[in-house]
Each structure stands twice: as structure tokens, then as C-alpha cells.
Structure 1
């Protein structure tokens, strides 16, 4: 009897050992079991960057008469279906601040003074619309001094919106769906990262490229208005201020490692260009600007660009959703596709021999 019990115990032990070896993943301490449970991170092969120009939803300065009647809540309603992508970018043309007077205005009432102070609650409207990356390098971020700049970055931080462009905040690195992005922004204005110091700009971009997959460069540069739709390829002097050589700047930062360059500042739409397989938009115009902005003629049309890049930052294609604005109807879609037609025309004139193919349905591809 004792012999039978011993044989039975040996048989059960052998059976258990065979079972464990045949199914190693069931053993808690097996190295194979541990590695099987760790998912592999696979980078997206195509990313979408949706980009627009200037955003200023209404200023409470000098009076609340410059705020929209709906308190800005419907600002992006007409274009909401198109504000989609991995990165949704715009230029924040002003600061978030609930009170205070502007030091740039010549009289205490702020008459004839272009100083933009958006109510702080308006930041939530921009966040809800989908924007996750903003440039704050422009001539209006400092309209209310250090107080306005400080409050703006505090609010953007609280909403987890990525931003760049101040000397105190020159860049931001962030990750979305396993792609590591860097954003840096430049302007010719006080307390911003200078567009006119190309050497320093290239050094910054090169460092960011070492730390990220896709480097986005934004600039606020060039002369303003309908007379300045073309890219002159020289320094642009406007009101005695050097607004930069945007052509040289864009090419320079791409040489240093930038993957896409998004321009704004002239308040009109400008040409686009493909350089070393990287996409450049020289001016995205007025996108959503309420109040004291001129929206006449070319100032009232702008593109909403949906740009597709591969995971290395090379251009694949783009789509132009044309929008228009006026003082009464505000931001809406343009069924005449004026912004797309303007981009096509200006690109043909300013960059003859360009590498882009413009179709009739708002699409931009690469020439074969």
C-alpha cells in the first residue's frame, strides 16, 4: 500500500512538471510571462496638424463693447467639424486678463489703441474647440505688460494647452499617441523669441530635433495688410520695425531640423511652399478675430489647413478649408473657396517651379 501511494505521488509530480513546462506563460515568475504582458508602442505612420492663424475672441478693453454678444461661446461653431487632428494649432493674438489698463495706449480711455485683453473665461472656449498648441509670440501678447503675459501662461498651463514664444517660455516638448513633438515660436516683438536672430533660432531648433520626432516652428512676421500678400524674400520693414525676412527664416529653421513652419502676422493669406520635403505656410491670416480688426477684402478670408505628415515630419498632403469673416456674420465657411484660390495663385507667382500640386477641391499634394 505504501508503495502504491509513493508511485501515485511521483506520477502526479511528473504530470504537474510537464504541465508547467508546456504552458510557461502560466508561471508567474517566468520571464516569458512578464515580457508578453508589455505592449509594444507603435508610432503612427501619418499625423495630422490642423493649423489656423490669428485668434482673438474679443477684448474687454477699452470697453466691453468690444466683446461679442454671445460672450464668444459660438466663436468656432461653424468650423467645429474641421478642428480635428493630432495637433490643432493657432496664434493667440493677445492675452487673457480680466482687468488692467494697457501701457501702450496714449490716453487713459484707450481710444484708437489696439490693445487686446480677452476675458480669462474665453480660454476655456479655445480649449473646448480643440486647440492644444498655441503660439504666444506676437505683438499683442505684451499689450498689458508682465501681468498679462504671466496670467496668460498660468491659464494655458491650467488647461494643459501647449504654447511657446516668450523669452521665458521659448519652447514646449509634449507627446501625443507615441509621437514626441516640440513647438517653438518667434516674433520681432519685446519679450518674445526673436525672429531676427536666425543663428539662435537654428540652434534652438537643432536642440529640439535631438529630443523630439516632429519640430513645429511658428513665426509672427512680415508686413501687414492687403498690400503685403506676397513673400518678398527680404527683410520686411513696417512702421519702422524689422518684421523679419520670413523666407530666409523658414528655410533656415528647416535646414536646422524643423519639420513644419507655420506663419502669421500679415493679417492676410500668403503662399505656401515645400522645401526639403517640409511644408511652409507663410501667413495663415485672420482666423477668428472679433472687434477692432479690419476684415475688408483679403483681410476677411483665411485658410484652415489640415496638413498630413509622416512620422518623420515629411509632407504628404494638405487640405484647405476656406473660411471668411465679417463684422456681422463672424467666422463661417466660405463656399467660394477664396482662401484656397488665393494660396494657389500666390504660390504660383511667388514660387515658380514649386513642388506642389493644387487640385480643384481644396487639396494640395506633391507633384509627381
Structure 2
């Protein structure tokens, strides 16, 4: 007897097989993401290269003339010219507003570039490697010889050190991304790619800067997008259709990018370099913006820039980490504090739990951070617990970690 009437069309078999394969790929899968805050490891900041024999004047486009009508004369920033001009002008040429130059710098020396590059990551590497995915904000260009016009520039071995420590992806969208100008940005992309570290938030043009970086672990695909609220030059460092730069924190672009990323990934995490520096408060405008991004389809937000940690909010089952604070910095300030890392447990339905890890960040600890324990850990966790409570989120303390459970 013929069995033709019992045959299932090939297209249906293929579709059913694909559906079953997808179900097997995602069924019960759980991975962890460890996210840390700002990383900068130049250990030196760019001092002024030139001084002038008269204060710069502003207004009406007058920038270069002296009071006597003559154009200001440039002096190379040698000790002799600096001492002469300070005596002539009656004031120090590097004032109190020279933020990074007045910072605390570490008394360190190294035998070679690899040791220097790996040094700040050594005490935290095991924690980073222990996660399925490790993420950080890279707050410096990586370049050896690009024009150094901002505060930071980090030698190329640091890209290899990031990979060595287990960091899989970094956000490069921040206010220091163009500290070594356009060439430095492209050098950063090159060195990260060469070392096998993914990046999001900068590119050769706007489309490139908006492109997500997708990581797959145990069948679960996670897309990372990154944006900056501001850049140091007032705006020209943002990427445009014909210019390299930083992805701007434009809500219309972000909404489009999340939709496109969802076509390629199971989860979408958005990184923001945002907020008011050195403040632990969460501005209402920041909360409103974050809520809109979650409503647009993001599964979580990773925040940084303020250099201090902030509370964590869970809205509709999605976490908003407003700021993790610092992780590694090539200098410190006496008003900076200990920081946090977050470990997100994720499955196909989203983030199911957030662990909060207190990170040493005071004084010289910022040059080589580590996981805190005991009273120091509890102090950080109690602060984040209280700040998260103000955002409607319950954080319980278990030993040296905080835990936020997310109902599914």
C-alpha cells in the first residue's frame, strides 16, 4: 500500500528540525557575565606641551592676543621656561584645575612592557576568567605613537593584557576615546582586534560605531551596544556618517540598534558612559532615559563614568547598573572610593540574578584592584544596598557579596 499520503512536506520537516535545534540550544542554558567599570592604564597624563607669555583671552573670537596688542609668544614646556613665565605672570602655569596632573600617581617601576601591562589586572584576573563573559569600559585609547592630545594614551601591550586577564569585550564609547585623536581611535580598534578583545561604541563612521558586538557562550548569544553621553571636545568626537568617532547616546539610534541586535542575539545589553562625575546620586533624567531603553527591548544596562558606584535598579525584571565606579586607573584621587563589579546570571529569558562584588579602589589599590572581604566589603555592600533600596530594589548581603534575585 502506498504511503505517499503520510509524507510530511520537506519544508515542514526542515522548519521543525530548526525549531527543535533552537529549543535544544537554549533550553536551560545559563551563563554568567562579569562587568567592571572604568579602566585606564597610561600611568602618566599629558602635561602641557606649550606655555604662553600671556593668559588666553576669550570672547569675540580673540584667543591669541596680549593686552599690548601683540600675539602671545609660545614657550616650550621646559623647566626653565616654566619658571620664567610663572615669575613674569605671577601665578603657576599648572593650576588647581589641572585635574589629572594634580592626581596621585603610583611609585611603580617595571622590567618590561608586558609586566607593566599585566600588573593592574593580576589580582582580579581569576575572577574575570571565572565568568563566561567579562566586560569593562576601556577609558583610554590604545596606541603607541598617535598624536596625544587628551589626558590618556595607553601602550599597545595593554590590549594583550586585557585578553590575558580574560576580558572578552570592552566599551570604547566614552569621553576619552579620542584622547589620541582619530589615529588613536583606529589604533585602538586594531590592537583590540589583534588581541581578540571585542569592542562596541566606536568605529570608522557612525554605522560602524553603532554595530553590536555579539558573544556566544553555550548556545546563548549576547549582543553589546555602547554609547557616550558626552565627549571632551564638545561634540566633534562623535561619529558621523563620514567621520570616525564615538556612538552618541541618541535615543532614536539606540532604539533602532536594539531592534537590529535582537535579530542577531538572544539578549541585548547596553553600555552607557553617562551621568554626573563623582556623584553617587541617580538623577531622575537618568532613570527616565534608562527606562525608555529597557522599554525599547534591552535586557539590561551597564553604566560607568561617575568614578563612584551607584545603586542598582530592577525594572520589569531587567537590571540597570547605574555606575560600577572605577576598576583600574593609572592615577587616583583622595575622594575616590571602593567600587563594585556585577556578576549577571543570564538565560534565554533574560537576567535571573545579579551578584554585587565589592572592589578595592582607594589609594594605591586602584592600580591593582581586588575583591574586598570582611568589614571593607560589608561597608560597600551596605551602601549599595541602601541606594538600591531607594530605587525600589532589594539587595541582600551574603558574606562578601550582595545578591539581587530577579523573578521570572
**TM-based fold match above 0.5:** yes
Structure 2 unmatched ranges of 5 or more: 1-16, 48-104, 111-115, 232-236, 239-245
One of 298, 304, 309 as aligned partner of 2:341: 304
Q: Secondary structure at the match of 1:307?
A: strand
Contact 1:262/1:282, CA 8 A, preserved across alignment? yes
Matched, 1:184 2:238: no
Q: Secondary structure at the match of 2:284?
A: coil
Using the alignment, how far apart are the partners of 1:259 and 1:136 within structure 2?
Answer: 20
Matched, 1:220 2:282: no
User: What's 2:148 paired with?
Assistant: 102
> Cα distance 1:178–1:367, how it changes in 2: closer, same or farther (>3 A)?
closer
User: What's 2:195 paired with?
Assistant: 159
- Once the two structures are overlaid, the 10-residue window that deviates more, 174-183 or 132-141, is 174-183
Q: How many residues align?
A: 300
Contact 2:388/2:395, CA 8 A, preserved across alignment? no
Based on CA coordinates, which of the two structures has the bigger radius of gyration? 1
Using the alignment, how far apart are the partners of 1:68 and 1:255 within structure 2?
Answer: 47
Q: Secondary structure at the match of 1:139?
A: coil
- Once the two structures are overlaid, the 10-residue window that deviates more, 321-330 or 276-285, is 321-330
Using the alignment, how far apart are the partners of 2:196 and 2:209 within structure 1?
Answer: 14
**Superposition TM-score, scaled by structure 1 size:** 0.75
Using the alignment, how far apart are the partners of 1:175 and 1:89 within structure 2?
Answer: 14
Question: For 1:159-215, what per-residue CA distance to the aligned partner results, in whole angstroms no more than 9, with x for missing partners?
Answer: 2211111233322233222212211101022322112x2122112112211221011
Using the alignment, how far apart are the partners of 2:30 and 2:118 within structure 1?
Answer: 32
What is the Cα deviation at residue 332 of structure 1?
A: 2.8
What is the Cα deviation at residue 80 of structure 1?
A: 2.4
Give the 4+ runs in structure 1 shifted more than 3 A. Answer: 59-63, 65-68, 326-330
Question: For 1:66-113, what per-residue CA distance to the aligned partner results, in whole angstroms no more than 9, with x for missing partners?
Answer: 895241322122222211212100000011011244334xxxxxxxxx
Output aligned runs, 1:142-153, within 5 Å: 142-153=178-189
User: What's 1:237 paired with?
Assistant: none
**Superposition TM-score, scaled by structure 2 size:** 0.68
One of 243, 247, 252 as aligned partner of 1:193: 247
Aligned Cα root-mean-square deviation (Å): 2.4
User: What's 2:25 paired with?
Assistant: 42
Using the alignment, how far apart are the partners of 1:198 and 1:158 within structure 2?
Answer: 32
Matched, 1:173 2:214: yes
User: What's 2:161 paired with?
Assistant: 125
Contact 2:147/2:184, CA 8 A, preserved across alignment? no
Contact 2:312/2:393, CA 8 A, preserved across alignment? no
User: What's 1:5 paired with?
Assistant: none
User: What's 1:53 paired with?
Assistant: 37
